[in-house]
Structure 1
Amino acid sequence: MGRLAGKTALVTGGGQGVGRGIALALAAQGAAVAITGRTERTLKDTAAEIAGRGGRALIVVGDVGERDDVDRMVARTVGEFGRLDVLVNNAQSSVQRALEQTSYADVELAYRSGPLAVFHAMQAALPHLRASRGSVVNLGSSAAVQGEATFAAYAMAKEAIRGLTRVAAREWGRYGIRVNVVCPAALSPAAEEFFAAHPEKAERVLSAIPLGRMGDPERDVGRAVAALVSDDMAYLTGATLMLEGGRTLIG
């Protein structure tokens, strides 16, 4: 049956990488999962994998940077499955440049697809999460926590998401809704492409991880998210979990 049997989850950016891993792990624990994104092909692939394992999946093509699309994602999920218990805000677009080269357009892209998308999704989901006393997981990043060079727009967006998460945790606790952040380090297609282009950076990153490896999107990140949104973690809210094998230690 799984610890999430009878529950419904919505995962943005669920067609590949960490989002795909989270969607697969939630489905493995019994949740019906709606996955959203801009590329229908990757969404179909993830949905087919979930169905092949005996789970239930819905795909909704759309752009989290568009408020109408976000509203439609939530409405389709509830229309198909009848409820919403878990919202995972994973989707994020950004470009990587030195601070002095970062443009307003770069920042706007990161904010529209990041904190504004999270803000819109949380507002759209709130009535349904109140009914289910559900859980929200927002994706942050150690690049923002640590202030890594060349991540100006991305770091701004991700730390804005963490701030929004803490506010929501305080305001929505009275509804029984938990809101947390996870900062993962996993071998998504984007991470693999970046490391292939910057092998020296990849070596430095791996050497800084006490567990000695990058995480697996499903086994290391997805299963942790599944545990986080389950009743096993019912007393945790407003937290930032660094799922990075010990690379970033914060107090």
Structure 2
Amino acid sequence: MTGRGVLDGKVALVTGAARGVGAGIARAFAKEGARVAVLDLDAAGAEAMAAELEEHAPAIGLGCDIRDSAQVDASVARVVERFGTVDILVNNAMASAQSRFEDATDADIDLALDTGPKATYYFMRACFPHLKGTLEEGGGRIINLRSASDPGGLAGYGAYVAAKAGVGGLTRVAAREWGRHGITVNNLAPFVLTEGAKAHFDERPDELKGVLRHLSVPRAGDAESDVGRAAVFLAGPDASYVTGCTLTVDGGGTFFS
């Protein structure tokens, strides 16, 4: 256990961190000394990831259905009970179904909105008392996962895009309101071939080639070394004057303005 890094002593809560982008962020945080709470619907996966992170810093794995505000509140309370506070919140977890706009069911729409902006709001609200500091001394960090599909209007993902756009709106409002409390609130918009994305593109190899051709740096990002390191920057001391922004980690695929 090293515990020597730019996040040494900080407490980070990362949702959807049993695998994929969330796991990459959790690993990067732990290697910088942060104590990490891994939250995931897959409780066993969360516990397994926490056990892996223990090599670098103390960690805890918790099962949580982020659609349920009571579970969110209870999970945050458990993290505070274990580590004393929450300094960094990463809202990564989200689920959605692919469908053409006119074919989306009520369940499709509910899934995206419930696990996207609503869950993000639940966690931000629950963590606020612990993130709150002062303008002079500084407060906590919030990093929300946005998507480049939002400004581009990705066809076939109406509910997903609506949800991610909602997350972007929450980020901007909280950055305005909570800056006085020393809290910074930013977005990350990555391109990573997660398990779900790989399964999608395995059936559509030409589509993946088209995506990569569109990138300025024509490769998929790595969940830890690319996205995780960007999250470390936003969570660390060098980003104390950065808030309300979207940092794209997608090889130049999207330029937010």
1:239 aligns with 2:242: no
How far has the Cα of 1:102 moved from its partner? 1.1
Contact 1:7 1:31 in 2 (8 A): yes
1:28-76 CA deviation, whole Å, 9 max, x = no partner? 1110000101112321331122123x22110110110111111012111
Distance in 2 between residues matched to 1:206 and 1:47, nearest whole Å:
33
- Matching residue of 2:254: 248
Supply the AA of the counterpart residue of 1:87.
Answer: L
Structure 1 segments, 4+ long, off by >4 Å, are none
Task: Give the TM-score normalised by the residue count of structure 2.
Answer: 0.95
Distance in 1 between residues matched to 2:109 and 2:127, nearest whole Å:
26
Distance in 1 between residues matched to 2:77 and 2:220, nearest whole Å:
35
Supply the AA of the counterpart residue of 1:210.
Answer: S
Map 1:216-227 onto structure 2 (within 5 A).
Answer: 216-227=222-233
1:230 aligns with 2:236: yes
The 3-state SS of whatever aligns with 2:89 is: strand
1:160 aligns with 2:166: yes
The 3-state SS of whatever aligns with 1:214 is: coil
Map 1:71-220 onto structure 2 (within 5 A).
Answer: 71-131=73-133, 133-220=139-226
RMSD, aligned α-carbons: 1.0
Contact 2:175 2:184 in 1 (8 A): yes
How far has the Cα of 1:192 moved from its partner? 1.3
Distance in 2 between residues matched to 1:201 and 1:71, nearest whole Å:
41
- Matching residue of 2:34: 31
Which 5+ residue runs of structure 1 have no aligned equivalent? Answer: none
Contact 2:47 2:62 in 1 (8 A): no
Supply the AA of the counterpart residue of 2:166.
Answer: A
The 3-state SS of whatever aligns with 1:247 is: coil
Which 5+ residue runs of structure 2 have no aligned equivalent? Answer: none
Contact 1:144 1:151 in 2 (8 A): no
1:197-248 CA deviation, whole Å, 9 max, x = no partner? 2212111111111111000000000011011110101100000111101011
